[in-house]
Amino acid sequence: MEIMGHRGAAGVAPENTMPAFKVSADLGIPWVELDIRLTKDGDLVLLHDKSLERTTDGTGEVGQLTVAEIQKLDAGSWFSADFAGVRVPTLVQVLETFQERIQFNIEIKDEDDRLEEQIARLFEILDRHQLRHRVILSSFKEKILGAVREEDERVQLAIIANQSADQMKRIATELSCQMMNPGNKILSEPLIKWAHERGKRITGWMANEKEILHLLNQWNVDYCCTDFPGMAQEYLEELP
């Protein structure tokens, strides 16, 4: 079971920021998960929410501001005064800083009206860094994964779901997803067995307690996604 830092290391630094990714990179964590959204001027920045209010001192929606406007915002003070002045990074900044040290599970957030533009920009960036086939591209939305698969038959896809195991199986099969990221509501040993029999990897999410890590390890998941990668690392090191 490999560790995946959720939004970098969202439990110990502001999510989707450079300090959060540095935590995982410095620990030697093999994977991080991150979220991308499209700015008004067509760049990709790391923000989970469509709106800016929760994790910055800005207001409005990500797609209403340019990347320059977004990078003037404080994306750290909401978490702790220690991170005051931390900025929202672009995808390019994160890849350029960490691509030699860590692997990326990139969640494509919902941009229905600009999906084609978003995917084109994403592949442009990945190709520039020679990462197109070294990352995992994930989404809750079948439409998004379908558009990515239509663009590239070889790129690694991951379906995220928390409502229906049967629907997750269907999408994973039809779109040839290499990874399945089921939420805790539907994660089960039979689902893991189904995935592994078909050569698909499973990520267990929100593994923020050692009890959950223990269960995921017993169930033989491939990755544990956690806000506290250091804690997960300690757990794995303590295993006999």
For 79-137, how does the pLDDT look when each residue is reduced to its tens digit (9 = 90+)?
A: 999 999 999 999 999 999 999 999 999 999 987 789 999 999 999 999 999 999 999 99
Residue 118 lies in a domain: yes
Please report the pLDDT score of residue 124 as a whole number.
Answer: 98
Is residue 29 situated within a structural domain?
Answer: yes
* Structural domain contains residue 219: no
Q: How buried is residue 166: exposed, middle or buried, by Cβ count under 10 Å (0-12/13-18/19+)?
A: exposed
Asked, for residue 106, whether it belongs to a domain, the answer is: yes
* Mean per-residue pLDDT, 147-162: 97
**CA pair distance 210, 215, nearest whole angstrom:** 9
Domain containing 120 — which CATH number?
3.20.20.190
Phi/psi at 40 (nearest 5 deg)?
Answer: -55, -35
- DSSP-derived 3-state class of residue 117: helix
Q: Which domain holds residue 57?
A: 14-188
Residue 147: pLDDT band by 50, 70, 90 thresholds? very high
- Contact between 32 and 104 under an 8 Å Cβ cutoff? The reply is yes
The answer to the question of residue 195 being in a domain is no
**What percent helix, strand, coil does the chain show, rounded to 5?**
40, 20, 40
In the prediction, which pLDDT does 20 show? Answer: 98
84 C-beta neighbours (distance < 10 Å), count: 13
% residues pLDDT > 70 (the chain): 100
- SS3 of residue 175 by DSSP: coil
Q: DSSP for 125-159?
A: HHHHTT-TTTSEEEES-HHHHHHHHHH-SSSEEEE
pLDDT band of 166, cuts 50, 70, 90: very high
pLDDT at 130: 97
- Within 10 A of 187 (CB to CB), how many other CB atoms are there? 22
For residue 205, give Cα distances in angstroms to 17, 21, 165, 183.
20, 18, 15, 6
Any domain includes 210: no
Interatomic CA distance for residues 83 and 71, integer angstroms: 15
Number of domains in the chain: 1
Give the per-residue pLDDT at 111.
74
Q: Is residue 226 part of a domain?
A: no
